[in-house]
Amino acid sequence: MSRLHIAKFIDRVQHFEQRGARDFTCSLADAKNLHADITRLLLELEQMRQGAQQSEQRITVEMQGGSF
């Protein structure tokens, strides 16, 4: 899934930082796109976390030494 708007935001912050800017603003459209990317990322992370919890299995191993 694309993280285009997150990458764009990072690039813009770095650009302004290199120029020594003290303030940074973005359009409402850019903010909404960034919000959408972050929300999708968090939802995917939560799905992965839930999937990992469901796939955890408990394995029990019993060993007998017999006459050993």
More confident residue, 67 or 49: 49
Q: Based on C-alpha coordinates, what's the Rg of the chain?
A: 24
Domain ranges across the chain? 4-47
Q: Give residue-wise pLDDT tens across range 21-61.
A: 999 999 999 999 999 999 999 999 999 888 777 666 677 88
Encoded tokens for 16: 């302004």
Q: Cα–Cα distance between 34 and 36 in angstroms, integer? A: 5
Distance from chain centroid for Cα 34: 13
Q: Cα–Cα distance between 40 and 21 in angstroms, integer? A: 30
pTM of the predicted protein model: 0.68
